[in-house]
Structures are given as C-alpha cells and as structure tokens.
Amino acid sequence: MSQTDEPIDVSIVVPAYNESENVADTVERIAVTFAGRPERWEVILVDDGSTDDTRAVIEQLARVDPRVIPAGYTRNAGRGRALRVGFAQARGKIIVSTDADLSYEPGYILNLLDALCADPEIDFVLGSPYMPGGGTEGVDPRRLLISRWGNRVLQATVNKNIYTFTGIFRAYRREVLDALDLESDGKEIHLEILSRALGAGYRVREVPAILRGRKKGRSKFRFGGTAISHLFFSFSEKPFLVFGGLGLLLLVAGLLGGIYVSVLRFQGTLNPGRPLTTLVVILMLAGLQILSFGFIALQVGVLRREIFKLQRENRLLRRQVRQWVTEEGCSD
C-alpha cells in the first residue's frame, strides 16, 4: 500500500512480535476511538520479525484500510528497532507509541493528545499507571513488582517528578523524535528517549492511565533484560551515586581504620608485622581515587547534556535544509 501526500495529524506506531491474535482488534479499536474526531490518523504496524502469521494479518488489514501502514523486517530485532522503523515512516504531527496487545485502552490516546494540545510548552506526554489517578488491572504480580520498584529507583536517580520511565504508551510532537539520534534496539529505547529528550531540553508531562494485563498471546516481559536496562540507565544518569558512594565508603573505612591504628600505637600495642597500616593507606587512596572518578563523571554528565542539545539543533537544522531544498526544487 503506497502512502499518499495527505497531511496526517496523528501517527500511531505499534510494534508487533507474534501478535497475530491482537493486531486486528487493535486497529479496530483505534478506529472506533477516532470515529467522529477531526484528526487525520494512521496506524503503522511494525512486524518485528514475527514467526507466526502477524505479517500476513498486517498486510490484509492494510489492503482493507488505507490508514493502516505495514512495516517491518524478517528477523526479530527488538521493540526499539521496531519503534525506530515506525517513527521513520510516521507522517503525523504527533506520534503515539503503544502496545499491540492493548495493554492501554486506545481511548487513552485522546488523553495524551489533549495534554499536548492544552499546553504548547509540553513536548511529549507519558501515559502513567503509577502516578496518582493511574492504576493496573490483571497484571502479573512479578512483572508489576519489578516495574514499580524499577521506576522508583529511576525516579530517585533522575530527580524528576516522573512516575513511569519505562512505558511504551507515549505521545511526542514530531520535532522531538526528529531531533533525537536513537540507537537502542530493545526495550531500553524508552529510557534512551527520555534521557536524550530531557537532556536536550524538551519538556514532559504525565497523564494517568490504566495498565491491563494481556488477554491474548504470550507476554514478552523478561526480568533479566528489564533489570539490567534499569541499572544501566541509573548509572548513566547519575554515575556519581556509584563512584561517589563507593569512594566515600572507602574513605570512611580508611579513616576509621586510621583512628584504630592511632589508638593502638598510643597504647603501645600496635604490632608492626600486621598489614593493618598498609590496608588503611590503601583504603584512603582508593577512596580518593574513586571519588575523583565521581567528580569527573559529573562533568561528563554536563557535557553529555550539551551534546544532546547540539544533536537536537543539528538534526533540526538538517531537516529544515532538506525541506528548503525540496521546496526550491519543486518551485523550479
């Protein structure tokens, strides 16, 4: 199905891996959600290398409804890759990302759009089950526990009034995604987008939403990958918490050991054959060294945010130049 040049207001990007049971229902309920609304919309279904009939179902939906745009590739690469492919094909002024299993009711998409329209200063909106007014229904308790505590750790790390860092359910103004140089292939893309967007100076808002457990198909949740991505993001955002905390711990241990050695010496009971004095010196030197890494990491964090801002300006400038060249070519 070829795309037309008709302007699109909202593009909904839906990554799908082995979701043949869900994609048709997803499209139908999105269509019901936008029925009677003035927005022109499209839904981009990205087949993430499914091994079932997902691709065939998507292509059939596209033949029936021109608002359905098929995309994808043959080998499974991960949610991040699927989202990046969908973002690249999206034509809307606002780009929404959501799950294929309807973990969030399509009706909540309107809440995201309303939040963006209500405040032009906001650049992207997160649908949050963990903020006041949000909630969960029928979600696996193990997944819920990991997700809740993971997001609390991330909230403490970033020092932002954000409750949900890892959810896919979001709406972006187009210029936000155009300005970000995204690289992640897995679920960590949600953290990457948030980190780069905040670092580039974009402003975010959350709106409450209800997260529901899937009713069809198998869950793609993996504990190991989720935990590692949370820890890596926390470290990349605030490396001083690791270096500074460890450095201070070693310094305190060395200081206490030094006091103990001094007491033994004044009492005349210090055994020169024991390596206690050497250990104290090593602890204090190591603490100072690691603490200095923490201060270096602080400066790296500042430079990182400046790089994100420069990347934002460069990508937007390149986009404006391409538009100018295209318009000049058409006018000739």
Instruction: Write down which residue in 236, 266, 299 finishes a domain.
Output: 236
Domain of residue 158: give its range: 8-236
Within this chain, do residues 28 and 133 fall inside the same structural domain, yes or no?
Answer: yes
Within this chain, do residues 62 and 13 fall inside the same structural domain, yes or no?
Answer: yes
Query: What token pair was written down for 280?
Result: 């104290």
Within this chain, do residues 216 and 260 fall inside the same structural domain, yes or no?
Answer: no
Provide the pLDDT for residue 274.
72
With contact defined as beta carbons under 8 Å apart, do 283 and 254 qualify?
yes
Q: For the chain, what is the radius of gyration of the CA atoms?
A: 25
Within this chain, do residues 186 and 249 fall inside the same structural domain, yes or no?
Answer: no
Provide the pLDDT for residue 116.
93
Tens digit of each residue's pLDDT, the chain (332 residues): 344 567 899 999 999 999 998 999 999 999 999 998 999 999 999 999 999 999 999 999 999 999 999 999 999 999 999 999 999 999 999 999 999 988 898 889 999 999 999 998 999 999 999 999 998 888 778 777 777 777 777 776 665 688 888 889 999 999 999 888 888 888 888 888 988 888 888 899 999 999 987 665 565 555 555 556 555 665 566 666 667 777 788 888 888 888 887 887 787 777 766 777 788 888 888 888 887 777 776 666 666 666 666 666 676 676 666 667 555 554 55
Provide the pLDDT for residue 147.
76
CA-closest candidate to residue 180, choices 191, 168, 171, 193: 193
Instruction: Write down which residue in 207, 236, 265 finishes a domain.
Output: 236
Provide the pLDDT for residue 271.
72
CATH number assigned to the domain comprising residue 212:
3.90.550.10
Number of domains making up the chain: 2
What residue type is assigned to position 303 of the chain?
Answer: L
